[in-house]
Structure 1
Amino acid sequence: MKLLPSLLLIMASACSQSPDGGHIALMDAIDRRLVMPPKAHPLREYARYYARRQDGKIAIFLTAYVNMPSTPEAGERRWIDLRLMPDASDGGCGIINAVYDPSVDRVDQIRCNGPN
């Protein structure tokens, strides 16, 4: 009979671990903190990439250019390795770069990627 409580405890702890490493909950938290720049589209119109930087902060790349084959659909999110983070040298508010600091639950920066 002592085996049953131990088995239930193991099963409960296994169920509490997120198979995505907690990334969905973290992306949800970040999305709630993002305040879009004045000339930007609504958040739902951007495909979003998130990656943890070496300093523990989260780099975020948002793109409204979603008609390209390798880009997620508008509103979709992907947690990726930082080495795979997209980069662009222009794009106005069609591309936005942001940094989220999870240690203080705050977006440190958010900016359009050049003039419109």
Structure 2
Amino acid sequence: MDAIEEQVQLPSGASPLQDYARHYAVDANGRMGAGRGRIIGVYLLPEPPRPTGPGIGCSEVVVQPNGQETLKDVPCPLEGQGKGDVSAGERRWFDDVEALPTINDGGCMMVTVIFNPSTQRVELAECNGGA
């Protein structure tokens, strides 16, 4: 992780490295298309806190004894929960690339990095696509 972060140059439009939660795994079988043995880095900007309060956020349906359905305010789950979320500036190693968190679209909210351990070089650092 240190070798990658010492040399990675984030793409234009990306935030500073310390703003990202950084996740890494070895692509042992070449499943991510980067080539066998490459290290895949997924850098994610943590989501800002969601507003809370009555009528804001998430609800669940509660069925009353009379069969009537009502809504109850509940905390919203965070996206990516259960994927080993880390905070901005922190990093984590995963045992399998399939466990790396990801988002759809998002532009530079997600940066993908590919590192070749045999050459000790970053081969790619790019922002995620946009819708």
The corresponding residue for 2:14 is 40
Give 1:64 deviation, angstroms: 0.6
TM-score normalised by length of structure 1: 0.71
Give 1:115 deviation, angstroms: 3.9
Match of 2:104 among 80, 89, 92: 89
| Larger relative contact order (CA 8 Å, sep ≥ 6) | 2
Match of 2:89 among 75, 82, 102: 75
Residues 1-116 of structure 1 mapped to structure 2, 5 A cutoff: 27-54=1-28, 55-67=36-48, 68=78, 70=81, 71-81=85-95, 82-115=97-130
Q: 1:86 & 1:77 partners in 2: Cα distance?
A: 12
Equivalent residue pairs, number: 90
Contact 1:47–1:66 (CA under 8 A) maintained in structure 2: no
Cα gap change, 1:66 to 1:72, in 2 (>3 Å): farther
Q: Answer 1 or 2: which has greater strand percent.
A: 2
Moved over 6 A (4+): none
Specify the SS of the correspondent of 1:93: helix
> Which structure has the larger Rg?
2
Give 1:33 deviation, angstroms: 1.4
Identity of aligned residues (%): 38
Q: 2:103 & 2:124 partners in 1: Cα distance?
A: 17
TM-score normalised by length of structure 2: 0.63
Q: Answer 1 or 2: which has greater helix percent.
A: 1
Give 1:66 deviation, angstroms: 4.5
How much is the aligned-residue C-alpha RMSD, in angstroms?
A: 1.8
> 5+ residue gaps in structure 2?
29-35, 49-77
